[in-house]
Amino acid sequence: MDVLTPEQRRKNMQAIKGKDTKIEIMLRQKLWEKGYRYRKNYKNLPGRPDIVFLRLKIAIFCDSEFWHGYNWEDKKKRLGTNREFWIKKIETNMERDKKVNEKLISDGWIVLRFWETEIKKNPDNCIKIIEEAIQQRKK
C-alpha cells in the first residue's frame, strides 16, 4: 500500500468538491430537461441541500457513499490508514445528516436523499421519486 506524504494528501483532499459534483449535475440536468426549476446548494436551509423546490418545501441531497457512510458497518471494518480519524469523521457526518433531516422535517419539508450509486445507476428512478414528492405537495 502506498503511503501519501502530507502534501499529497492535502492536495487530494482539496480536490474534493463540496458542490456541483457529477451526481448533482446529472440529477439536475434530468430535472431541467423535464421542465422543473429549482434552487441549488441553498444556503438558507440546514445542511445546504443540493436541490431545493422552495414553494413545495422539498429538499434533495445527493450523498456520496464514502463521506455519508453508505453500507457503513462493512466499510468501517475495511478502513486502513488513519482509521480512528475516518471513523470519527464519517460518523460525525452521518449524525449531522440525521439532525439536518430531523430539523427540515420538523419545519415541514420533504427530505429526499439519494446515494451516489442510485443516481448513477438509475437516475430515472430518482426522478420518479422526486416527481412523486412534487405531486404529493401539489395535492
Global pTM? 0.83
137: cell is 405537495
pLDDT digits (tens, 9 = 90+) for 28-44: 999 999 999 999 999 99
In angstroms, rounded to a whole number, what is the distance separating the alpha carbons of residues 136 and 139?
Answer: 6
Among the four given CATH numbers 3.40.50.2300, 3.40.960.10, 3.40.50.450, 3.40.50.300, the one describing domain 18-138 = 3.40.960.10
| Sequence-ordered list of residues with C-beta below 8 angstroms from that of 43, at least 6 positions apart, any chain | none
C-alpha torsion sign, points 51, 116, 16, 47: positive
In angstroms, rounded to a whole number, what is the distance separating the alpha carbons of residues 88 and 8?
Answer: 22
The dihedral region occupied by 65, where left means phi > 0, alpha psi between -120 and 50, and beta the remainder, is alpha
- What confidence score (pLDDT) does residue 119 get? 96
Contact present, 112 and 49 (Cβ < 8 Å): no
HEC letters along 51-64:
EEECCCCEEEEEEC
What strands, in cross-sheet order, belong to the sheet with 39-40? 39-40, 51-53, 58-63, 110-115
- What confidence score (pLDDT) does residue 110 get? 98
- What confidence score (pLDDT) does residue 75 get? 79
Mean pLDDT, range 125-133, rounded to an integer: 97
User: Comparing 17-21, 48-52, 76-80, 110-114, which segment has the lowest mean pLDDT?
Assistant: 17-21
The confidence band for 96, taking pLDDT boundaries of 50, 70 and 90, is: very high
pLDDT digits (tens, 9 = 90+) for 40-84: 999 999 999 999 999 999 999 999 887 788 878 777 777 777 778
pLDDT over threshold 70, residue 101: yes
pLDDT over threshold 50, residue 1: no
